[in-house]
Protein backbone atom coordinates (compact mmCIF):
# COMPACT_ATOMS: atom_id res chain seq x y z
CA UNK A 1 0.00 0.00 0.00
CA UNK A 2 1.36 3.44 -0.93
CA UNK A 3 2.11 6.15 1.61
CA UNK A 4 -0.63 8.34 0.16
CA UNK A 5 -3.15 5.52 0.50
CA UNK A 6 -2.10 4.93 4.11
CA UNK A 7 -2.56 8.59 4.96
CA UNK A 8 -5.98 8.74 3.31
CA UNK A 9 -7.21 5.71 5.24
CA UNK A 10 -5.76 6.82 8.59
CA UNK A 11 -8.23 7.85 11.31
CA UNK A 12 -8.65 11.55 12.05
CA UNK A 13 -6.21 13.00 14.56
CA UNK A 14 -7.14 13.45 18.19
CA UNK A 15 -6.88 17.21 17.73
CA UNK A 16 -9.35 17.14 14.86
CA UNK A 17 -11.79 15.14 16.99
CA UNK A 18 -11.49 17.64 19.85
CA UNK A 19 -12.21 20.49 17.45
CA UNK A 20 -15.24 18.64 16.08
CA UNK A 21 -16.47 17.93 19.60
CA UNK A 22 -16.53 21.66 20.39
CA UNK A 23 -18.62 22.52 17.29
CA UNK A 24 -16.51 25.53 16.29
CA UNK A 25 -19.06 27.04 13.88
CA UNK A 26 -21.82 27.01 16.49
CA UNK A 27 -19.40 28.28 19.12
CA UNK A 28 -18.35 31.09 16.76
CA UNK A 29 -21.99 32.15 16.42
CA UNK A 30 -22.25 32.42 20.20
CA UNK A 31 -19.10 34.52 20.37
CA UNK A 32 -20.16 36.82 17.54
CA UNK A 33 -23.62 37.45 18.97
CA UNK A 34 -22.02 38.10 22.36
CA UNK A 35 -19.83 40.73 20.75
CA UNK A 36 -22.88 42.26 19.07
CA UNK A 37 -24.43 42.75 22.51
CA UNK A 38 -21.18 44.24 23.79
CA UNK A 39 -20.78 46.63 20.85
CA UNK A 40 -24.45 47.65 20.76
CA UNK A 41 -24.19 48.78 24.39
CA UNK A 42 -21.42 51.18 23.30
CA UNK A 43 -19.02 50.70 26.20
CA UNK A 44 -16.03 52.14 24.38
CA UNK A 45 -12.91 50.12 23.61
CA UNK A 46 -11.42 48.11 26.47
CA UNK A 47 -8.93 45.64 24.91
CA UNK A 48 -8.36 43.44 27.96
CA UNK A 49 -12.07 43.18 28.76
CA UNK A 50 -12.83 42.45 25.12
CA UNK A 51 -10.21 39.69 25.01
CA UNK A 52 -11.44 37.99 28.17
CA UNK A 53 -15.04 38.28 26.96
CA UNK A 54 -14.09 36.47 23.75
CA UNK A 55 -12.09 33.80 25.56
CA UNK A 56 -14.71 33.22 28.24
CA UNK A 57 -17.62 32.98 25.83
CA UNK A 58 -15.69 30.75 23.46
CA UNK A 59 -14.71 28.37 26.26
CA UNK A 60 -18.28 28.17 27.60
CA UNK A 61 -19.73 27.56 24.13
CA UNK A 62 -17.16 24.86 23.36
CA UNK A 63 -17.76 23.22 26.72
CA UNK A 64 -21.54 23.15 26.20
CA UNK A 65 -21.09 21.65 22.74
CA UNK A 66 -18.85 18.91 24.14
CA UNK A 67 -21.24 18.05 26.95
CA UNK A 68 -24.20 18.08 24.56
CA UNK A 69 -22.48 15.48 22.38
CA UNK A 70 -21.62 13.46 25.46
CA UNK A 71 -25.30 13.45 26.49
CA UNK A 72 -26.55 12.59 23.00
CA UNK A 73 -23.95 10.05 21.90
CA UNK A 74 -26.54 7.25 21.80
CA UNK A 75 -28.97 9.08 19.50
CA UNK A 76 -26.13 10.57 17.45
CA UNK A 77 -25.03 7.01 16.64
CA UNK A 78 -28.43 6.31 15.03
CA UNK A 79 -28.62 9.35 12.77
CA UNK A 80 -26.82 9.58 9.44
CA UNK A 81 -25.82 13.22 9.89
CA UNK A 82 -24.19 12.65 13.29
CA UNK A 83 -23.03 9.03 13.33
CA UNK A 84 -19.46 9.95 12.39
CA UNK A 85 -18.95 12.34 15.29
CA UNK A 86 -16.06 11.38 17.60
CA UNK A 87 -18.15 9.77 20.36
CA UNK A 88 -20.64 7.63 18.38
CA UNK A 89 -17.86 6.64 15.98
CA UNK A 90 -15.78 5.41 18.93
CA UNK A 91 -12.77 7.63 18.23
CA UNK A 92 -12.93 9.27 21.67
CA UNK A 93 -13.82 7.80 25.08
CA UNK A 94 -16.97 9.42 26.53
CA UNK A 95 -15.15 10.27 29.76
CA UNK A 96 -12.70 12.47 27.87
CA UNK A 97 -15.54 14.51 26.39
CA UNK A 98 -17.20 14.83 29.81
CA UNK A 99 -14.04 16.12 31.50
CA UNK A 100 -13.17 18.42 28.59
CA UNK A 101 -16.67 19.90 28.51
CA UNK A 102 -16.83 20.75 32.20
CA UNK A 103 -13.25 22.03 32.22
CA UNK A 104 -14.01 24.43 29.36
CA UNK A 105 -17.19 25.65 31.05
CA UNK A 106 -15.32 26.24 34.32
CA UNK A 107 -12.50 28.12 32.59
CA UNK A 108 -14.98 30.22 30.60
CA UNK A 109 -17.03 31.15 33.65
CA UNK A 110 -13.84 31.94 35.54
CA UNK A 111 -12.71 34.38 32.85
CA UNK A 112 -16.11 36.08 32.71
CA UNK A 113 -16.60 36.35 36.47
CA UNK A 114 -13.03 37.22 37.37
CA UNK A 115 -12.01 39.42 34.45
CA UNK A 116 -15.20 40.79 32.87
CA UNK A 117 -18.38 41.20 34.95
CA UNK A 118 -20.61 39.17 37.23
CA UNK A 119 -23.67 39.85 35.04
CA UNK A 120 -21.86 38.45 31.99
CA UNK A 121 -20.95 35.32 33.96
CA UNK A 122 -24.56 34.99 35.15
CA UNK A 123 -25.92 34.96 31.59
CA UNK A 124 -23.21 32.52 30.50
CA UNK A 125 -24.22 30.21 33.35
CA UNK A 126 -27.87 30.61 32.30
CA UNK A 127 -26.87 29.51 28.80
CA UNK A 128 -25.06 26.43 30.10
CA UNK A 129 -27.88 25.38 32.43
CA UNK A 130 -30.72 25.98 29.97
CA UNK A 131 -28.94 24.18 27.14
CA UNK A 132 -27.81 21.12 29.09
CA UNK A 133 -30.49 20.78 31.77
CA UNK A 134 -33.52 21.88 29.73
CA UNK A 135 -32.98 21.78 25.97
CA UNK A 136 -30.94 18.59 25.58
CA UNK A 137 -33.33 16.40 27.66
CA UNK A 138 -36.36 18.09 26.06
CA UNK A 139 -35.32 16.85 22.61
CA UNK A 140 -36.29 13.35 23.74
CA UNK A 141 -39.61 14.25 25.33
CA UNK A 142 -41.11 17.56 24.23
CA UNK A 143 -42.69 19.01 21.12
CA UNK A 144 -41.32 22.37 22.30
CA UNK A 145 -37.66 21.37 22.36
CA UNK A 146 -36.76 23.74 19.51
CA UNK A 147 -38.29 26.68 21.34
CA UNK A 148 -36.56 25.70 24.59
CA UNK A 149 -33.28 25.53 22.70
CA UNK A 150 -33.97 28.93 21.18
CA UNK A 151 -34.13 30.44 24.67
CA UNK A 152 -30.73 28.97 25.48
CA UNK A 153 -29.34 30.23 22.18
CA UNK A 154 -30.64 33.76 22.77
CA UNK A 155 -28.57 34.44 25.90
CA UNK A 156 -25.18 35.29 24.25
CA UNK A 157 -26.09 38.92 23.38
CA UNK A 158 -26.95 39.38 27.05
CA UNK A 159 -23.51 38.06 28.00
CA UNK A 160 -22.02 40.86 25.91
CA UNK A 161 -24.48 43.40 27.26
CA UNK A 162 -23.66 42.36 30.81
CA UNK A 163 -19.96 42.80 30.07
CA UNK A 164 -20.56 46.31 28.74
CA UNK A 165 -22.64 47.28 31.76
CA UNK A 166 -19.79 46.50 34.15
CA UNK A 167 -21.07 46.69 37.72
CA UNK A 168 -24.73 47.22 36.83
CA UNK A 169 -27.11 44.31 37.37
CA UNK A 170 -29.87 45.19 34.90
CA UNK A 171 -30.21 45.01 31.12
CA UNK A 172 -31.57 47.93 29.09
CA UNK A 173 -34.34 47.61 26.49
CA UNK A 174 -32.00 47.10 23.54
CA UNK A 175 -30.35 44.15 25.28
CA UNK A 176 -33.71 42.42 25.61
CA UNK A 177 -34.58 43.27 22.00
CA UNK A 178 -31.37 41.51 20.95
CA UNK A 179 -32.43 38.54 23.09
CA UNK A 180 -35.80 38.53 21.30
CA UNK A 181 -34.18 38.77 17.87
CA UNK A 182 -31.98 35.75 18.54
CA UNK A 183 -34.89 33.84 20.09
CA UNK A 184 -37.30 34.30 17.18
CA UNK A 185 -34.63 34.02 14.46
CA UNK A 186 -33.73 30.52 15.61
CA UNK A 187 -37.23 29.14 14.96
CA UNK A 188 -37.33 29.49 11.14
CA UNK A 189 -33.61 28.73 11.00
CA UNK A 190 -33.87 25.44 12.90
CA UNK A 191 -37.29 24.52 11.48
CA UNK A 192 -35.69 24.57 8.03
CA UNK A 193 -32.90 22.31 9.30
CA UNK A 194 -35.29 20.02 11.18
CA UNK A 195 -37.54 19.65 8.13
CA UNK A 196 -34.57 18.72 5.94
CA UNK A 197 -33.45 16.06 8.45
CA UNK A 198 -36.90 15.05 9.71
CA UNK A 199 -36.39 11.38 8.84
CA UNK A 200 -33.20 11.27 10.91
CA UNK A 201 -35.00 12.82 13.88
CA UNK A 202 -37.92 10.43 13.45
CA UNK A 203 -35.51 7.49 13.53
CA UNK A 204 -34.56 8.34 17.13
CA UNK A 205 -38.13 9.29 18.11
CA UNK A 206 -37.50 12.95 18.80
CA UNK A 207 -41.05 14.32 19.25
CA UNK A 208 -40.34 17.67 17.58
CA UNK A 209 -42.84 19.47 15.35
CA UNK A 210 -41.21 18.32 12.12
CA UNK A 211 -41.63 14.64 13.04
CA UNK A 212 -45.30 15.14 14.05
CA UNK A 213 -46.36 17.16 11.01
CA UNK A 214 -46.09 14.87 7.96
CA UNK A 215 -46.96 17.46 5.32
CA UNK A 216 -45.00 20.29 6.95
CA UNK A 217 -47.85 22.80 6.93
CA UNK A 218 -47.65 23.57 10.64
CA UNK A 219 -43.85 23.74 10.43
CA UNK A 220 -44.03 26.32 7.64
CA UNK A 221 -46.70 28.42 9.37
CA UNK A 222 -44.78 28.49 12.65
CA UNK A 223 -41.66 29.48 10.75
CA UNK A 224 -43.55 32.35 9.11
CA UNK A 225 -44.97 33.60 12.42
CA UNK A 226 -41.52 33.78 13.96
CA UNK A 227 -39.98 35.32 10.85
CA UNK A 228 -42.53 38.15 11.01
CA UNK A 229 -41.78 38.50 14.73
CA UNK A 230 -38.02 38.74 14.25
CA UNK A 231 -38.41 41.32 11.49
CA UNK A 232 -40.70 43.40 13.72
CA UNK A 233 -38.20 43.20 16.57
CA UNK A 234 -35.35 44.20 14.29
CA UNK A 235 -37.14 47.44 13.35
CA UNK A 236 -38.25 48.23 16.92
CA UNK A 237 -35.03 49.98 18.05
CA UNK A 238 -35.76 52.89 15.68
CA UNK A 239 -39.21 53.41 17.20
CA UNK A 240 -37.64 53.54 20.67
CA UNK A 241 -35.00 56.04 19.65
CA UNK A 242 -32.23 53.45 19.99
CA UNK A 243 -31.36 53.40 16.26
CA UNK A 244 -31.79 55.68 13.26
CA UNK A 245 -34.57 55.55 10.67
CA UNK A 246 -31.98 54.68 8.03
CA UNK A 247 -31.33 51.50 9.98
CA UNK A 248 -35.09 50.87 10.15
CA UNK A 249 -35.45 51.16 6.36
CA UNK A 250 -32.55 48.77 5.79
CA UNK A 251 -34.02 46.32 8.33
CA UNK A 252 -37.44 46.47 6.67
CA UNK A 253 -35.99 45.72 3.23
CA UNK A 254 -33.83 42.91 4.58
CA UNK A 255 -36.80 41.58 6.51
CA UNK A 256 -38.98 41.55 3.39
CA UNK A 257 -36.50 39.15 1.82
CA UNK A 258 -36.57 36.91 4.90
CA UNK A 259 -40.38 36.93 5.02
CA UNK A 260 -40.50 36.13 1.30
CA UNK A 261 -38.46 32.98 1.88
CA UNK A 262 -40.71 31.98 4.78
CA UNK A 263 -43.79 32.51 2.57
CA UNK A 264 -42.25 30.30 -0.12
CA UNK A 265 -41.74 27.59 2.52
CA UNK A 266 -45.55 27.42 2.81
CA UNK A 267 -45.92 25.87 -0.66
CA UNK A 268 -46.23 22.07 -0.27
CA UNK A 269 -44.98 21.22 -3.77
CA UNK A 270 -41.60 22.90 -3.25
CA UNK A 271 -41.26 22.69 0.52
CA UNK A 272 -38.12 20.55 0.53
CA UNK A 273 -36.28 22.92 -1.81
CA UNK A 274 -37.60 26.00 -0.03
CA UNK A 275 -36.39 24.66 3.34
CA UNK A 276 -32.83 24.86 2.03
CA UNK A 277 -33.38 28.38 0.71
CA UNK A 278 -34.96 29.52 3.98
CA UNK A 279 -32.00 28.10 5.87
CA UNK A 280 -29.48 29.91 3.65
CA UNK A 281 -31.50 33.13 3.88
CA UNK A 282 -31.51 32.93 7.68
CA UNK A 283 -27.73 32.41 7.68
CA UNK A 284 -27.24 35.55 5.57
CA UNK A 285 -29.92 37.64 7.33
CA UNK A 286 -28.49 37.42 10.85
CA UNK A 287 -25.00 38.91 10.30
CA UNK A 288 -26.38 41.56 7.94
CA UNK A 289 -29.06 42.58 10.43
CA UNK A 290 -26.87 42.56 13.52
CA UNK A 291 -24.01 44.20 11.64
CA UNK A 292 -26.31 47.01 10.56
CA UNK A 293 -27.44 47.56 14.15
CA UNK A 294 -23.88 47.71 15.48
CA UNK A 295 -22.76 50.11 12.73
CA UNK A 296 -25.77 52.31 13.33
CA UNK A 297 -25.24 52.36 17.09
CA UNK A 298 -21.49 53.02 16.93
CA UNK A 299 -21.43 55.57 14.11
CA UNK A 300 -24.81 57.28 13.96
CA UNK A 301 -26.52 57.17 17.35
CA UNK A 302 -25.45 59.94 19.70
CA UNK A 303 -23.99 58.68 23.01
> Quick one: pLDDT band at residue 6, thresholds 50, 70, 90?
very low
pLDDT the model gives residue 13:
84
Is the pLDDT confidence value at 14 over 80? yes
Residue 196 near residue 276, CB atoms below 8 Å: yes
Q: Which residue has the higher pLDDT, 194 or 303?
A: 194
Question: What does the pLDDT average to over 280-284?
Answer: 98
Residue 293 near residue 40, CB atoms below 8 Å: yes
Phi/psi region, residue 170 (left: phi>0; alpha: psi -120 to 50; beta: rest), is beta
pLDDT the model gives residue 302:
66
For 14-169, give the CATH class: mainly alpha
Question: What does the pLDDT average to over 173-202?
Answer: 96
Instruction: List, as own/partner pairs, every contact residues 239-244 make where C-beta atoms lie below 8 angstroms and the sequence separation is at least 24, other chains included.
Output: 240/173, 240/174, 242/173, 242/174, 242/177, 242/297, 242/301, 243/293, 243/296, 243/297, 243/301, 244/296, 244/300, 244/301
Cα(220)–Cα(58) distance, integer angstroms: 33
pLDDT the model gives residue 12:
52
Cα(288)–Cα(113) distance, integer angstroms: 31
**Model confidence pLDDT, tens digit, residues 221-267:** 999 999 999 999 999 999 999 999 999 999 999 999 999 999 999 99
CB within 8 A of 98, min separation 6: which ones? 67, 70
Residue 104 near residue 121, CB atoms below 8 Å: no
For residue 273, the tally of other CB atoms under 10 A from its CB is: 12
Cα(66)–Cα(91) distance, integer angstroms: 14
Question: Domain spans of the chain?
Answer: 14-169, 172-303
> Quick one: pLDDT band at residue 211, thresholds 50, 70, 90?
very high
Amino acid sequence: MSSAASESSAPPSAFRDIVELTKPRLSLLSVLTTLVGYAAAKPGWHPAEFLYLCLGTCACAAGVASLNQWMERDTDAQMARTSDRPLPAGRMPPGNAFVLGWALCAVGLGFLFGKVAGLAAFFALATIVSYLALYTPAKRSSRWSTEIGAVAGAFPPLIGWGAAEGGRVEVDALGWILFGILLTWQIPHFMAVAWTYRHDYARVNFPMLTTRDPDGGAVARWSLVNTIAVVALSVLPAFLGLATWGYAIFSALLGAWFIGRALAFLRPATRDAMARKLFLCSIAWLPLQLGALVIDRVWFVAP
